[in-house]
């Protein structure tokens, strides 16, 4: 019993240690998070409505984008492809509702499907919307409408 308690105490202490990384000279130090350049083009509050919305970008796009998934009405998948990490959500057959996604300060509302692709190669961030698209800039209240709209955020290099 004492051995079990001692193992638990040692394991708990080991789990509380910060992650360390060896530097070139062999001294351990705490690894700092690496800064990844990112676009500011999606920082202004806006809402995008469409039947289908595709977000694609470089490594790190997953940290800036996300979806609210309701297992009762959404079907979702995440897989790796030759192009990168692919997340897809669509409405389940016969389900009524919307898919809510986000990209920085943009809210993306889809009536059929949202796809987020984190590409393996450097690229700009692109948002493509199809099917009765409506874009509302919530700062200026300006609107854009169309069958398709595209937006691109340049990544500083």
pLDDT at residue 36, as a whole number: 81
Does residue 7 contact residue 98 with C-beta atoms inside 8 Å?
no
Does residue 118 contact residue 62 with C-beta atoms inside 8 Å?
yes
Rounded to whole angstroms, the Cα distance separating 108 from 119 reads: 20
Rounded to whole angstroms, the Cα distance separating 137 from 105 reads: 11
Complete DSSP assignment for 64-131: HEEEE--TTTEEEEEEE-SSEEEEEEEEPTT----EEEEETTEEEEEEEEEEEEEESS---EEEEEEE
pLDDT at residue 33, as a whole number: 59
- For every one of its 157 residues, what pLDDT tens digit does the chain have, with 9 covering 90 and above? 443 333 333 334 444 444 444 445 555 566 655 678 899 999 999 999 999 999 999 999 999 999 999 999 999 999 999 999 999 999 999 999 999 999 999 999 999 999 999 999 999 999 999 999 999 999 999 999 999 999 999 999 8
pLDDT at residue 18, as a whole number: 46
pLDDT at residue 149, as a whole number: 98
pTM of the prediction?
0.78
């Amino acid at each position: 019993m004492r051995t079990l308690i001692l193992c638990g105490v040692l394991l708990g202490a080991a789990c509380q240690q910060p992650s360390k990384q060896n530097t070139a000279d062999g001294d351990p130090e705490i690894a700092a998070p690496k800064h990844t350049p990112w676009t500011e083009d999606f920082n202004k509050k806006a809402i995008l409505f469409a039947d289908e919305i595709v977000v694609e970008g470089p490594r790190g796009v997953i940290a800036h984008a996300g979806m609210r998934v309701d297992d009762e009405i959404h079907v979702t998948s995440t897989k790796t492809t030759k192009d990168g990490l692919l997340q897809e959500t669509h409405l389940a057959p016969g389900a009524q509702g919307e898919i809510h996604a986000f990209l920085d300060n943009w809210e993306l509302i889809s009536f059929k499907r949202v796809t987020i692709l984190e590409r393996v190669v450097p690229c700009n961030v692109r948002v493509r919307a199809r099917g009765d698209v409506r874009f509302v800039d919530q700062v200026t209240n300006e609107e854009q409408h169309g069958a398709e709209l595209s937006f691109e955020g340049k990544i500083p290099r």
